[in-house]
């Protein structure tokens, strides 16, 4: 069964013809060209597909595209504003908080969501917030340091 859905991705309206089995992740990647969110595990454990769906971070691999009809979606491609990287993205670069980079879009989305609800998180709060994102390269330490630095950068600009 196919149906046409309308959704906003990073502020731009889109229409897509989707099969009921199609995940939001596959629609974003293969129909709308947003290759930032990745499929790692496909069952909600790794968080590489993390996107914001109507103001909440979700695993796009566990959402059917048809469920997202009418929704506002933000992917990592929508995080930078007017050519300027988001402070979380900048901090990931400065702290070398990635190696292969596969997990990074998901971490950026989780970290950004954390700092929006809790601008000055403790280290345990940071580690809890990224518990749904797996990184098999870094050992997490640099990611945590990057999120701490982004928190400081955001508080200085606020």
Partner 1 sequence: MDAFEYAAPQNLQDAVALLAEASGEARPLAGGTDLIAQMKENRRSPSLVVDVKKIPELNVLSYAAGLRIGAAVSCTQIAGFAPVRVHYPALAEACALIGSYQIQNRAALGGNFCNAAPSADAVPPAIAYGAMLVIAGPNGQREMPAEDFFVGPGQTVLEKGEVLVEIGLPPPPPHSGAAYLRFIPREEMDIAVAGVGAFVRLSPDAHTCEQARIVLAAVAPTPVRAKEAEAFLTGRALDETTLAQAGELASQAASPISDVRGSAAYRLELVKVLTRRTLGTALERARGEAA
> In the complex, which residues of this chain contact partner 1 (CB under 8 A)?
1, 3, 19-21, 23, 42-45, 47, 50, 53, 56-59, 62-64, 66-67, 69, 110, 113, 127-129, 131-133
Tell which residue, 18, 36, 37, has the closest CA to residue 27: 18
Give least dist CB 39 to partner 1, A: 11
Backbone angles phi, psi at 90, to 5 degrees: -60, -40
Give least dist CB 7 to partner 1, A: 14
Nearer to partner 1, 35 or 41 (CB): 41
Give least dist CB 35 to partner 1, A: 19
Tell which residue, 40, 153, 152, 62, has the closest CA to residue 107: 40
Nearer to partner 1, 46 or 93 (CB): 46
Angle at 25 between CA 19 and CA 26, to 5 degrees: 45
For residue 148, give both structure tokens.
Answer: 């701490």
- Report the C-alpha gap between 60 and 27 in whole angstroms: 10
Nearer to partner 1, 19 or 94 (CB): 19
Give least dist CB 46 to partner 1, A: 10
- The answer for residues whose C-beta is within 8 angstroms of residue 67's C-beta and 6 or more apart is 24
Nearer to partner 1, 55 or 82 (CB): 55
């Amino acid at each position: 069964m196919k149906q046409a859905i309308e959704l906003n991705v990073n502020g731009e309206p889109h229409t897509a013809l989707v099969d009921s089995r199609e995940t939001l992740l596959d629609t974003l990647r293969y129909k709308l060209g947003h290759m930032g969110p990745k499929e790692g595990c496909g069952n909600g454990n790794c968080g590489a597909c993390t996107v914001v769906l109507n103001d909440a971070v979700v695993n796009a691999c566990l959402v059917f595209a048809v469920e997202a009809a009418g929704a506002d979606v933000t992917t990592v491609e929508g995080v930078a504003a007017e050519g300027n990287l988001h402070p979380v993205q900048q901090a990931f670069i400065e702290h070398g908080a990635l190696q292969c980079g596969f997990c990074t879009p998901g971490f950026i989305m989780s970290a950004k969501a954390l700092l929006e609800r809790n601008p000055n998180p403790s280290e345990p709060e940071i580690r809890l917030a990224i518990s749904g994102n797996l990184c098999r390269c870094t050992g997490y330490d640099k990611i945590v340091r990057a999120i701490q630095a982004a928190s400081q950068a955001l508080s200085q600009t606020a």
